[in-house]
Amino acid sequence: MRKPAGTSFEDWIERQVREAQERGAFDGLCGAGEPLRGLDRGFSADQWAADKARREGFDVTGMLPPALALRREREVLQRDVHELVSEAAVRAVVDDFNDRVREQYRRPADGPPVVTALLDVEALVQEWHRRRPPVPAPPVVEPAPGGRLARWWSRRRGRGGAH
């Protein structure tokens, strides 16, 4: 519906709201009769975007300032270190993290200082060993008939014995 010429937007919108109320279009809505939440705090577009992202199930760590993002990453790395696939991967991830923390310290602060401690590589490697799932034992290979193990190329060609 278009606004009629010669009518102010305020009058036109008020009339539409009043007519909708008379039709009962607002009856039974979720939260009807309750005060609006958040009116007691100031409006921030950043806060609105973060709230919207959380409601829709998105990760909001990408919206954090770099220093806070590093702090969050440190917490997650300490919590989930056991999910890395090898000790070398743990060392590489921790070294990369520590390099980025050092780089952050070298930059001028663009807000209140946020201290992020470096990670202890050896302590996280020990934690990884302690919390990782046990490695299954390798399968036992039974010798082929005749007492000798069949060579891989013999098995591939369909010949069962050793040559």
pLDDT digits (tens, 9 = 90+) for 29-88: 888 788 877 778 787 887 888 888 888 988 877 778 888 889 999 999 999 998 999 999
% of the chain beyond a pLDDT of 90: 31
d(CA 98, CA 35): 47
Three-state secondary structure call for residue 74: helix
Provide Rg for the chain, Cα atoms: 32
* Side chain identity at residue 142, one-letter code: E
- For residue 86 the two structure tokens come to 């090898």
Q: What is the chain's mean pLDDT, rounded?
A: 83
Whole-model pTM over 0.85:
no
What is the band of 14 on the pLDDT scale with cuts at 50, 70, 90? very high
